[in-house]
Chains A and B, each alone.
Chain A
């Protein structure tokens, strides 16, 4: 992130906290504590083992994203390379993309159980579609002249894939994941509602049930930080791969 990127972040962070502060004064409810109280309570939140909850959530999220990236890239590449497969799969992708995947939760729970696999599956279902579409479109937009160069050099298919196709679409793939990070986190929050005693979603809802609103906000802040850090990291990596364009 550039220097003005940090300034941008700081500006947003400060403005958000000011709004939050005044909202808490205005609402005057224990359900909306002031940010100062929440931040002052952070040591307690850490004592209660939030780091562990964070790691569990992070692990689930990363597992989902990595599976999406690998599977989505493979499916997208096949669709981008072969017109036949594209003709068959494209209507399916188009049809299933807008279906709210969260509504499938009962089915996924029955099929994958209450453990981590159903949670990861949900994240995969949310994040894989943008990856497929980004890869498929990305492949079609690659300048054919670049492949011609490799062709005249006698490159094999693997070399064409690693030297041109993958580097050409990396930025688009990362951007697509970046955009779906927010949704993936919301889904994770929801999925950590059942069958687990770990994860930020569990921590937030557990604090909520115990009416420990200050700790609940602590959990929300950590979850938001996770989302923000991932977003910024993907943004930066995508920009690195995109500097050429």
Chain B
């Protein structure tokens, strides 16, 4: 569970980021919250604060009841460009979180001398995830040789490889073309359902928000704050586009965003 109380981030000219004011949000375990809003409303800033990347904030953030601490919490974060390390293979990239957190590594009697790799069980687990996302055959490839969709899947496997408590995704599907975007969102939901961690997904696509988000948070800008939280009536409905209220829901969100932009 993610619980955010009175989160305020002031403008800091050293880092290019947008401000946030008194953001209050709770994301339950097993819930996906889609955050949507005009560009510059601080959506990415919000994710970076929860991800422990921006440490300069006021307010309280708790993950499963513990104050946010990246060394204690297990946070899966997928940035906009996916952030794959170009010099590591797909497999090595996916094992990175485990390596950093010392999870599932071979025991080593001479630390510092021999680099420890992942143990067989962990490798099999990651391989299984890769296979599930239909990229198992790419495990030895480098990110530069992959397509956008494949990279997005690798980033997803990396973020899920260490069974995180929470998952933060910053416009994960925006770099993909329309057809692949739908497929990617579908596949995402499929693997997400296996561990159902509290998830916040930032998006600028209303359609995506309606498909993925159990609740949809509309943010307003300068300063960034939550304008409205909409319970999504179409959540979990695979044929959501064919429902009568689909247009209505989209229209409602659009109106909320437009109102913000007109101010």
Chain B 68-109 residues near chain A, CB threshold 8 A: 69-73, 75, 77, 79-81, 83, 85-88, 96-97, 99-101
A143 pairs with B100, CB closer than 8 A: no
Contact stretch, chosen from B48-56, B120-128, B180-188, B249-257:
B48-56
Q: Is the interface of B mostly helix, strand, loop or mixed?
A: loop
- Whether A149 is near chain B, meaning CB under 8 Å from some CB there, is yes
Least CB distance, A171 to chain B, in whole angstroms: 9
- Whether B143 is near chain A, meaning CB under 8 Å from some CB there, is yes
Selected from B53, B70, B81, B144, the residue in CB contact (under 8 A) with A143 is B81
Binary contact readout A218-245 vs B (1 if CB under 8 angstroms, 0 otherwise): 0000000000000000000000010111
Chain A 135-176 residues near chain B, CB threshold 8 A: 143, 145-146, 148-155, 159, 163-164, 167-168
Selected from B69, B71, B72, B77, the residue in CB contact (under 8 A) with A149 is B77
A244 pairs with B87, CB closer than 8 A: yes
- Whether B246 is near chain A, meaning CB under 8 Å from some CB there, is no
User: Complex formed: what's the CA distance from A148 to B53 in Å?
Assistant: 6
B53 pairs with A154, CB closer than 8 A: no
B101 pairs with A153, CB closer than 8 A: yes
Inter-chain contacts of A143 with B (CB < 8 A): 81, 83
A149 pairs with B83, CB closer than 8 A: yes
B79 pairs with A148, CB closer than 8 A: yes
Given A148-B53, A163-B85, A244-B86, residue A153 in contact with residue B75 (CB < 8 A) = yes
Q: Which residue of A lies closest to B99 (CB)?
A: A163
Given A143-B83, A153-B70, A154-B71, residue A148 in contact with residue B97 (CB < 8 A) = no
Least CB distance, B187 to chain A, in whole angstroms: 21
Q: How many residues of A contact B (CB 8 A)?
A: 20
Chain B 109-150 residues near chain A, CB threshold 8 A: 142-144
Inter-chain contacts of B71 with A (CB < 8 A): 154
Least CB distance, A175 to chain B, in whole angstroms: 15
Inter-chain contacts of B70 with A (CB < 8 A): 151-154
Most chain B beta-carbon contacts within 10 A, residue among A146, A151, A153, A167 = A153
Q: Which residue of A lies closest to B76 (CB)?
A: A152
B143 pairs with A152, CB closer than 8 A: no
Inter-chain contacts of A168 with B (CB < 8 A): 87
Q: How many residues of B contact A (CB 8 A)?
A: 28
A146 pairs with B52, CB closer than 8 A: no
User: Complex formed: what's the CA distance from A153 to B166 in Å?
Assistant: 12
Q: Which residue of A lies closest to B82 (CB)?
A: A145
Selected from B85, B97, B142, the residue in CB contact (under 8 A) with A153 is B97
A152 pairs with B87, CB closer than 8 A: no
A154 pairs with B100, CB closer than 8 A: yes
Given A149-B79, A152-B75, A154-B71, residue A241 in contact with residue B100 (CB < 8 A) = no
Binary contact readout B40-69 vs A (1 if CB under 8 angstroms, 0 otherwise): 000000001001110000000000000001
B83 pairs with A145, CB closer than 8 A: yes
Least CB distance, B113 to chain A, in whole angstroms: 14
A146 pairs with B83, CB closer than 8 A: yes
User: Complex formed: what's the CA distance from A167 to B84 in Å?
Assistant: 13
Least CB distance, A91 to chain B, in whole angstroms: 23
User: Complex formed: what's the CA distance from A243 to B52 in Å?
Assistant: 31
B75 pairs with A245, CB closer than 8 A: no
User: Complex formed: what's the CA distance from A168 to B88 in Å?
Assistant: 11
Inter-chain contacts of B168 with A (CB < 8 A): 152
Least CB distance, A163 to chain B, in whole angstroms: 7
* 21 pairs, CB–CB < 8 Å, chain A vs chain B: A145-B80, A145-B83, A148-B48, A149-B79, A151-B53, A153-B70, A153-B96, A153-B100, A154-B52, A154-B69, A155-B100, A159-B100, A163-B85, A163-B96, A164-B85, A167-B85, A241-B87, A243-B142, A243-B144, A244-B144, A245-B86
Interface of A with B (CB < 8 Å)? 143, 145-146, 148-155, 159, 163-164, 167-168, 241, 243-245
In the A-B complex, the 7 residue pairs with the smallest Cβ-Cβ separation, listed nearest first, are: A244-B86, A154-B70, A154-B71, A152-B77, A152-B51, A145-B83, A149-B83
